Structure 1
Amino acid sequence: MKPFSSEPMDSTCSGPSRRGFLGLLGGALVAAGASSVVGGVASAAPRTTTLPVESSEAMGATLASPSPNAVAGERGIFTMLDHLSPDAFSNQLNTSFLVPDANISLELIKVRDTSRGDNVRSFQLIMVGPLEPVLEPDTHLLRHATMGDIALFISPFTQDENGIRYHVSFSQLID
């Protein structure tokens, strides 16, 4: 277990390759029953922990619940990423996202476009929440007044006097 660090997280990590991670993620979705992820929110209570928690060195993948405008199709769960963009989140900077099962709010404080090249769209969100409870690195339902319900993989990565900072990473291959 690595305690929280006050150093900002950068985009380099020594975790598995993207392809390896996505393969593991696909297996986890199949094992968990992807239909329950696509169809809505899991009913399990949120997992929380006390400090210290593992650092989020291996960037997580992000899943979101389908918006009313999402089109079901062969691409399935990844179709919904077409509706989530750096601009969509930038318009919500400094607003609150409720985590209903943990009864806390996370404030969106930073949106960073990390796209490189023409075939991958990627961006990161930084959110801050209260010092307790600390959300485990996991998929959590977020409820927003404008964006609606979104299930995102959230990882805590640092803390300061203002609270716990969480990281969300999006990455999508562009056809």
Structure 2
Amino acid sequence: MLQERSNGERISGYQHDHLELNHFTNYITNESLVLSLGLRYRFREMFNSLSTDEFRIIEQAEISPQASVFSHRVRLEQRFRKIIIHRLRYELSFSRPLGSSLDFMAATEALYAVAAETKPEAEQRFSIGIENTSFKDLELGLGFEYRMENYTRQLAHEFFLTTELTLNLN
């Protein structure tokens, strides 16, 4: 995380937030639709002893029309922490090649979370990044993300620098 602000006041500066491992099993229904089931484990305690690690189950549908540079993704997530949090996510993304091995990506994502013991939360995220696709079945990414957390009740702004390593096991 690069910076976090709430009510116009800076709460924290640069800090490592987490490391996560993901696994997705994809079912390609046709050229434009991919259905996926994913598992995620997020390591947070190693960076902040006050945080707790987290496990997620993710159901996803991704629609990428053939003649479009835009794609749509809908996700349902169950986040297992001290309480179980259910989240609905919708992402609209734009991707464009910058050459033979670099891609530019821009996206916006809306999130809505509900849990038994807390009030619902809404978030909005905006991100830009580049991906290196020059290696077979391996992608390296670098991005910047701005988040408006819990904007319906107590707005907080968060800025992230993200790095990504994706290995495709075909």
More helix by share: 1
Q: Normalising by structure 1, report the TM-score.
A: 0.30
Larger radius of gyration: 2
What TM-score, normalized to structure 2? 0.30
1 or 2 for the larger relative contact order (CA 8 Å, sep ≥6)?
1
Structure with bigger strand share is 2
